[in-house]
Amino acid sequence: MTKSAHGAQPVSLAVPILEQHSSLETRSGGFVYQLARIPAPTGGVSLASFSLASALALAESQQLLLPGLAGFFVPLLLALGGFWLLPLLSKYLLQPRLLLNELAHPVLGSVLPTAAMAMMVAASWLVQLDTAAAQQAGVVLWSGAVALHAVLLIGFCGRQWRLFSLDRMVPSWFVPPIGIVVACVTAPAMGLELVAQPLFWFGLVAYGIKLPVMLYRLLFVERIPESALCTFAIMGAPASLLLAGYLSCFDTPNHLLVLLLAPIALSMTALVYLALIKLLQLPFSPGYAAFTFPLVIGATAQLLLSQWAQQNGMAELAELTAIAGLGELVVAAVMVLYVSGHYISALFKSAF
């Protein structure tokens, strides 16, 4: 609990391991009750699993991996992403009231869009199947996911605006406005780059506005309580996501903007690496999901930067960023598997 800067009621940023809802709806049956207890941050683990599959495929296309390595792990990661995403979506489809309740929470509400982001990445894989039906379904899924993210963004901002105070802010507040840039990373698979490009500029402006405010909050306002401290890892995601989205969605990226985003992305990823030394000592909570996607998108951004540098005759930069990207990819893969293992363990403990 933290005390509001305006003297209002204390703000709870706690995120329980499994959500405990008291509504009659969750008591109506065992299956529905278990779905209701799936934590919202599960969407982040699904997003990271799907995105790690994409990063491995990208690294293989750049001949940075042993032949066949990505082919072995990609199906497993796609299955893992679906394993986490489908029950979470079922939870909200069966009990939309829970979605509204969680949207009002300053932490849970901010991570709800990760489910929509995971749907976008899943759609980018679906359109690669060699059937017209799958490709059409992928475009529909992607479009629905972008629309869902926009709705969750508006809903979260509307809910938090009425109770706004700096002590309510946590780094996961970057997710609603900037997470939608995942659309830019995935749009090329569907040939919808022109549709997604405005979302990049929206995310870039949002980051430019929110970053100094968040840094002020972290440096000069009351400490983030331990229950929400894991969200600090999300600081590593926005700049890398913007860089990855820009390089993916624009045919001729501006060199100056690329070289502005690149060091910020790398610095933020390095900051998260340092923070993980302490964060990994925290007891397990759903907030561990914050340790996954920021590392994956950091690796993806470096791999895309290497590809861009190679295409623009910057051989030395291409080599350095390829090495950095591959190293980050290994760390991200270990972290996704580590966090997934904790989630699976918590799931079985809850079930049995």
313-335: per-residue pLDDT in tens?
999 999 999 999 999 999 999 99
What does the pLDDT read at residue 57?
Answer: 97
Give residue 299's identity as a one-letter amino acid code.
Answer: A
Q: Determine the average pLDDT of the residues in 212-239.
A: 95
Query: Is the predicted pLDDT of residue 348 greater than 90, yes or no?
Result: no
Query: Is the predicted pLDDT of residue 36 greater than 80, yes or no?
Result: yes
CA distances from 338 to 36, 219, 351 (A): 24, 30, 20
CA 110 to chain centre: 11
Determine contact, residues 216/163, Cβ cutoff 8 Å: no
DSSP letters for 76-117: HHHHHHHHHHHHHHHHHHH-HHHHHHHHTSTTHHHHTHHHHH
What does the pLDDT read at residue 342?
Answer: 94
Q: What pairs with residue 11 in β-bridges?
A: 2
What does the pLDDT read at residue 13?
Answer: 56
What value does the mean pLDDT of the chain take?
Answer: 90
Closest CA to 244 of 293, 298, 190, 188: 298
Query: Is the predicted pLDDT of residue 252 greater than 50, yes or no?
Result: yes
pLDDT in tens, 123-149: 999 999 989 999 999 999 999 999 999
What does the pLDDT read at residue 21?
Answer: 40
Rounded to whole angstroms, the Cα distance separating 104 from 90 reads 20
What does the pLDDT read at residue 232?
Answer: 97
Q: Determine the average pLDDT of the residues in 188-215.
A: 97
Place of tokens 């830019």: 184
Q: Determine the average pLDDT of the residues in 165-191.
A: 96
Closest CA to 11 of 167, 158, 161: 167
DSSP letter at 11 equals: B
Where does the pLDDT of residue 11 fall: very low under 50, low under 70, confident under 90, or very high at 90 and above?
very low
Query: Is the predicted pLDDT of residue 14 greater than 70, yes or no?
Result: no
CA 327, 329, 335: angle at the middle one, nearest 5?
110
Determine contact, residues 8/163, Cβ cutoff 8 Å: yes
Give percent of the chain above pLDDT 90. 83
Distance spanning both ends of the chain, measured CA to CA: 31
What does the pLDDT read at residue 227?
Answer: 87
pLDDT in tens, 70-126: 999 999 999 999 999 999 999 999 999 999 999 999 999 999 999 999 999 999 999
Give percent of the chain above pLDDT 70. 90
What does the pLDDT read at residue 37?
Answer: 85
Q: Determine the average pLDDT of the residues in 218-225.
A: 92
What does the pLDDT read at residue 12?
Answer: 52
What does the pLDDT read at residue 111?
Answer: 97
Give residue 111's identity as a one-letter amino acid code.
Answer: V
Q: Which has more pLDDT, 180 or 7?
A: 180
What does the pLDDT read at residue 162?
Answer: 85
Count of C-beta atoms within a 10 Å radius of residue 27: 12
CA 317, 178, 173: angle at the middle one, nearest 5?
120
Highest mean pLDDT among 14-18, 149-153, 343-347: 149-153
Place of tokens 């995105």: 51
Tokens of 259: 């070289």
Tokens of 85: 């995403």
Rounded to whole angstroms, the Cα distance separating 111 from 76 reads 24
